[in-house]
Amino acid sequence: MKLTAEQLLDDLLEDAAPPEFRAALMDKTLRSARRRQRARYFNMALIATVVAGIFLFSFWKMREPAILSDRIRQSDPMVVGSKPLLPGQIVITHLDPVEEFVSSISTVAEVQTSGSSGPYKEINDQQLLALLSDRPAVLVRHGPHQAELIFLDPRN
């Protein structure tokens, strides 16, 4: 049984159109219908791909903070135990103005270097402390470019 559109086309073209025209018209109609069908399939595939991409992107973004929060929750607490200091380990400072500083020539040491291009040769911390091996001294660093050499009193 013929479709209604085909019957109307047959009735319309039966008397006036030659058979080649009818075949060409039918061929063009079929090509147009196939093109529309392919366009529909392409659009459906494109929409499905976009929806799947949006779903995967949102799933990926939702999982990212959950992974970070799990790492934070799983960290073990660190327990530090301490003991009170002995009285000999506690250092107390006093604000005591020094009125007079007495020094003798025996407390001053002169260091001479040879072979340097200038009047002074720069030495590192180990070389400095090696020069003072017979005297107790401490090198205190206050910053990356600032240090203080403190001589300890050997009587205490």
Using CB atoms within 10 Å of the CB of residue 109, give its burial: 0 to 12 exposed, 13 to 18 middle, 19+ buried.
exposed
- Residues 6 or more apart whose Cβ sits within 8 Å of residue 113: 120, 121, 123
The helix/strand/coil state of 57 is helix
Beta pairing partners, 138 = 150
Structural domain includes residue 18:
yes
Q: Does residue 127 share a domain with residue 65? A: no
What average pLDDT does the structure give for the chain?
Answer: 76
Question: In this predicted structure, what is the pLDDT of residue 138?
Answer: 82
Structural domain includes residue 111:
no
Which residue segment(s) compose the domain that 37 sits in? 4-74
Structural domain includes residue 102:
no
Alpha-carbon gap, residue 10 to 2, rounded angstroms: 10
Q: Does residue 127 share a domain with residue 67? A: no
Structural domain includes residue 69:
yes
Structural domain includes residue 115:
no
What whole-number percentage of the chain has pLDDT above 90? 19
Q: Does residue 13 share a domain with residue 70? A: yes
- Residues 6 or more apart whose Cβ sits within 8 Å of residue 21: 13
Using the predicted structure, report yes or no on whether residue 86 has a pLDDT greater than 80: yes
User: Looking at residues 78-92, what average pLDDT do you find?
Assistant: 79
User: Looking at residues 83-106, what average pLDDT do you find?
Assistant: 72
Structural domain includes residue 94:
no
Question: In this predicted structure, what is the pLDDT of residue 58?
Answer: 87
Structural domain includes residue 22:
yes
Give per-residue pLDDT as tens, 15-45: 666 778 778 888 999 999 999 999 999 999 9
Regarding pTM above 0.75, the answer is no
Total tally of structural domains belonging to the chain? 2
Question: In this predicted structure, what is the pLDDT of residue 19?
Answer: 76
What's the CA dihedral at 137, 142, 147, 149 to 10 degrees?
A: -20
Alpha-carbon gap, residue 59 to 67, rounded angstroms: 12
> Among 39, 74, 109, where does a domain finish?
74
Structural domain includes residue 114:
no
